[in-house]
Amino acid sequence: MNMPSDCLFCRIIAGEFGAEFVAKNDYAVAFRDINPQAPVHLLVVPRQHVSGFRDIGQLEDGALNGMLDLAVNAATALGIDRGGYRLVTNDGPEAGQTVFHLHWHLLGGAKLNGALA
């Protein structure tokens, strides 16, 4: 699996920063955002490096379903499935993407209003 050495999320996945994974499976990991926009704010990140949502077709077979399963399971485990949650991705700099490794923001734990992550 090609993992660029300058990609922050690839380095987190490789264990370089000692990030705690709230959830993980064969295809993705989830960890807490360092700048949370909600009481629960996780990043769901595929283990395979793809730059953004526009490149989702480059994911290996099963990876997209693995990411979705991980997001749903994490929401359930953290109890935000009952009240609802938001799953958001930013694709490209004009959309607010700052780390160019596909990732989803899983937000919940309170009524979500206003700007998206």
What is the pLDDT tens value at each position of the chain, 117 positions in all?
556 779 999 999 999 998 999 999 999 999 999 999 999 999 999 999 999 999 999 999 999 999 999 999 999 999 999 999 999 999 999 999 999 999 999 999 999 986 555
| 41 is an active site residue | no
In a domain, 3, yes or no: no
Cβ atoms within 10 Å, residue 49: 20
Single pTM value for the model: 0.92
> Considering its fold, how many domains does the chain have in total?
1
In a domain, 39, yes or no: yes
In a domain, 73, yes or no: yes
In a domain, 88, yes or no: yes
Q: What is the CATH number of the domain that holds 47?
A: 3.30.428.10
Domain, as residue range, for 65: 8-93
**Residues 41, 101, 103, 105: which is the catalytic one?**
103
Residue 2, token pair as written in the block: 């090609």
Closest-CA residue to 74 (of 109, 115, 44): 44
Burial class (CB in 10 A: 0-12, 13-18, 19+), 9: buried
